[in-house]
Structures are given as structure tokens and as C-alpha cells.
Homo-oligomer: A and B are copies of this chain.
Amino acid sequence: MSTLLLTGFVPFHTHPVNPSAEAVQALNGEQAGALRVHSALLPVEPRSAMQTLSRLMDELQPSGVLLTGLAAGRPQVTLERVAVNVMDFSIPDNAGGQYQDTPVCTGEDAPAAYLSSLPLRRILAAWHDIGIPGHISNTAGLYVCNVVMYHALHQLHLRGRAEVPCGFLHVPANPQVALSVAGDRPPLPYLPQEEITRAVRTAAQTMAGQNEVCGSQTRKEAPAGLLV
């Protein structure tokens, strides 16, 4: 059976937990359409995160890659549209590194950015159908989330597997994250963990359904053109 690789991140910064980790752990082994979900946690440090991700992609040869992470402060689940070949950290990573204006990949063949190859509009529609507000984000930040999104898309491209749907889903804080915010900072928007997990599951199922029906055409979700 084909695999959908689903990643989250371990906790980082001042956050006691990472709701992306809780979501992907809850979904590990579930079936999404014809795919089986293989969940993994990534470290919050660029080099080891990229190594872990490369190894997983080599071993699993997944038919879909859904990367998730925490965007504390965002009020809804968001699908990232683009990954940029830059690291610029406003907080240190878990190894204490704080990169500034640094490329994720330095090769000649490393473009400035990749667009998500997820069926973005279909996932939004699937969310809305079940009462989950969510939207497309035009920046994934320049922290480790963006790193793994760029890296995964670049690896697929280099290996001639650019048709594999791959992208990043940012989730809001969950209650534990929101409850641990310092008193001199504004209250964080949050969602119950089950709502976050439900949004991730729906995205995975939409990718899988997409895959079944459209095969390698998943990337071709066409630009919608002029809507006057």
C-alpha cells in the first residue's frame, strides 16, 4: 500500500507542546483513501530536520507528503503557498542556531522558491464543507517550517518525482500552548487539539482522494484565471 508521509515537529521555543506533533501522532497508521499514513516527528533544527526528512522520503517513497507545524498567533489552519530558499530566524532553533539571510540549499540548481503542489483549493473546500475555516497563507515564515517545505519539494524535484503532492499546513496554538503564554503578551488564538487533528486528517484524506482520482495530475490544479 502506498504511503502518505505526514510530519509534525517536536516542541520548540517556549511552547510546552507542539500541536502538530499531537495531530500527526493521532493519525499514524490511519488509512487516507488508498494511502496509509506514516507519521514522523522532525527536530526543530534545519540540518537534522532535512536529514530526517530525506531519509524518510528515501525509505518510504511516499505518494504524498504533508508537512505540518505550529504557527502560534495564527487564528486558523493555513496551507502554505510557497517555500522560499532563505532561512531568517527571529527565535533560535532547538540547537541554539539563529540563521540570518541564509539559503536553505546552496546548489546552483536550488531555485528561489517552490510553490506547494498540494491541491490547495480542494483542501480548503473540504475544510469548509465540514465547518473548518482555513485559508491559504502566502508566507510560511523563514524558520524551520519553511526549511522542510523547501527541502521536501526540492528533493522531489531533483528525483524526478515532482508530481507527488507535497506541501505544508500550519496549525494554530492548542489550549496548552495558549495557556502557557506570558502574561505580558497578548492572548493567543487557539483551537482544541481535536479540531486541529480533524483539519490535518481532512487535508490528508483530500490529498489521498485527489491522488486516486487524478493520478499524476495532482499538480495541475489549474490557475483559476480571471474572475471578474
Contacts and interface: CB of A to CB of B under 8 A. Distances in A.
Contact of A113 (B112, B133, B189, B227): B112
Contacts of A88: 81, 136, 138
A152 B128 CA distance: 37
A135 B181 CA distance: 12
Contacts of A178: 76, 133
A111 interface: yes
Interface of A is mostly: loop
Interface residues of A, number: 55
A170 to B, nearest CB: 12
Contact of A139 (B76, B90, B102, B139): B139
A40 B185 CA distance: 30
A228 interface: yes
11 contacts: A75-B188, A81-B86, A90-B183, A97-B226, A103-B223, A111-B113, A112-B113, A131-B175, A131-B176, A133-B188, A191-B192
